[in-house]
Amino acid sequence: MRRRQAFTLIELLVVIAIIAILIALLVPAVQKVREAAARTQCQNNLKQVMLATHAVNDVNKVLPPVAAPDGWTALTLAAPCYNGGPWTVFTFLLPYVEQGVIYDALTRTASPPGGYCGGQYMKVVPTYLCPSDSATQNGLSQTTFGGANGFAVSNFIANYMVFGNPLGANDTQCVQGRNAMPRSFPDGLSTTIFFGEAYGSCSPTTASATAPAAASLWADSTLPWRPIMCHNTPNKNVLPGYNQCFTFQIQPLEFGSCDPSRAQSSHPTGMNVGVGDGSVRYLRPDIAPTTWYRACDPRDGQPMSASDWD
């Protein structure tokens, strides 16, 4: 019998080159599929947040405030049903996103240490996460400044002009909104953005352990951890007035080019937003700043048109 000859070195190199080419062609396709799946999951979670927002408004006849003055100071200027805890809007949504156990475990005192942010700040809420966010690890922030890496994040952030009180005189008054659907939204719910997206960790510098490193934490009302947008400041304090909301960033480097004064999208082609009518839309990265501002301001008399959305 003739002995079968082995592959020559050249034949092996040709096979390896062909495999390398196939892998190079396949990897981008796989990445696109993964991103599409992550984006879909992100949209589904944001949809649940929008449904929860409508539910809490229906039950209480008023929306929750965007935040308390900080993580240990009680709400006092929001609607009476929300006053008493140092909580954010996402805290009040917990029972409506199947997290009633966390809500019931909240400490009903504003004094630290036990009452800081309600005491449940480390609990990861899957509905508040977007799987595309590389700035989050196991649902926790990667910002070590202020110990934020021990806090669970929210990749969705609330529009201050919707959940706050821009007519207040200072930060303490401005964050404690008491708006209600539909009376507080003369521009219409279907053209007003309620929620955007954000990284769980964010800093314009490469340092994660020092200021100005920030984070988006669902439970924390303290600067610079608030899960808010349209505040326009790197420390996440809010200024009185309906100021033009800064447009969002697309895939900034979490520690290096991420701007805490803006929303941030982890998707390469746009950002998901939750709209007041309960829908979730996807905005292009080249959206005009004036168009974005009109959609964020609920009472400027210039609602977005249908052609502006996608």
Position 109 scores a pLDDT of 74
Type of residue numbered 304: M
Q: Which two tokens stand for residue 140?
A: 């926790």
Position 6 scores a pLDDT of 65
Residue 211 lies in a domain: yes
Residue 111 has phi, psi (to 5 degrees) of -90, 130
Residue 6 lies in a domain: no
- Express as a percent the part of the chain with pLDDT over 90: 81
d(C-alpha 37, C-alpha 125), whole Å: 19
**Quick check: 1 pLDDT over 60?**
no
- Of 7-21, 28-42, 216-230, the range with the highest mean pLDDT is 216-230
Position 4 scores a pLDDT of 58
Identify which has the larger pLDDT, 285 or 306: 285
Position 302 scores a pLDDT of 85
Residue 230 lies in a domain: yes
Position 127 scores a pLDDT of 98
Q: List the one residue out of 216, 213, 248, 214 whose CA is nearest residue 230.
A: 248
d(C-alpha 143, C-alpha 124), whole Å: 16
Mean pLDDT of 155-167: 98
Residue 265 lies in a domain: yes
Q: Which two tokens stand for residue 259?
A: 């701007």
Position 27 scores a pLDDT of 65
pLDDT digits (tens, 9 = 90+) for 78-131: 999 999 999 999 999 999 999 999 999 999 876 776 789 999 999 999 999 999
Residue 8 lies in a domain: no
Residue 56 lies in a domain: yes
Domains of the chain: total: 1
Contacts of 17 (CB under 8 A, 6+ apart): none
Report the chain's mean pLDDT, rounded to a whole number: 92
Position 278 scores a pLDDT of 97
pLDDT digits (tens, 9 = 90+) for 244-287: 999 999 999 999 999 999 999 999 999 999 999 999 999 999 99
Give the pLDDT band of residue 13 (cuts 50, 70, 90): confident
Q: Which two tokens stand for residue 86?
A: 């140092």
Mean pLDDT of 198-220: 97
Least confident piece of the model among 155-159, 257-261, 287-291: 287-291
Residue ranges making up the domain that contains 225: 14-308
pLDDT digits (tens, 9 = 90+) for 16-63: 888 888 777 766 665 666 777 888 999 999 999 999 999 999 999 999
Beta carbons of 243 and 11 less than 8 angstroms apart: no
Residue 1 lies in a domain: no
Residue 203 lies in a domain: yes
Least confident piece of the model among 28-32, 54-58, 178-182, 203-207: 28-32
Position 310 scores a pLDDT of 64
Position 34 scores a pLDDT of 75
d(C-alpha 39, C-alpha 93), whole Å: 22
Q: Which two tokens stand for residue 175?
A: 């964050």
Q: What is the dihedral of CA 91, 54, 132, 213, to 10 degrees?
A: -40
Label each residue of the chain as H, E or C.
CCCCCCCCHHHHHHHHHHHHHHHHHHHHHHHHHHHHHHHHHHHHHHHHHHHHHHHHHHHHCCCCCCCCCECCECCCCCCCCCCCCCCCHHHHHHHHHCCHHHHHCCCCCCCCCCCHHHHCCCCCCHHHCCCCCCCEECCEECCCHHHHHHCEECCEEEEHHHHCCCCCCCHHHHCCCCCCCCCCCCCCHHHCEEEEECCCEEECCCCCCCCCCEECECCCCCCCCCCEECCCCCCCCCCCCCCCCCCCEECCCCECCCCCCCCEECCCCCEEEEECCCCEEEECCCCCHHHHHHHHCCCCCCCCCHHHCC
Positive or negative CA dihedral for 253, 254, 257, 260? positive
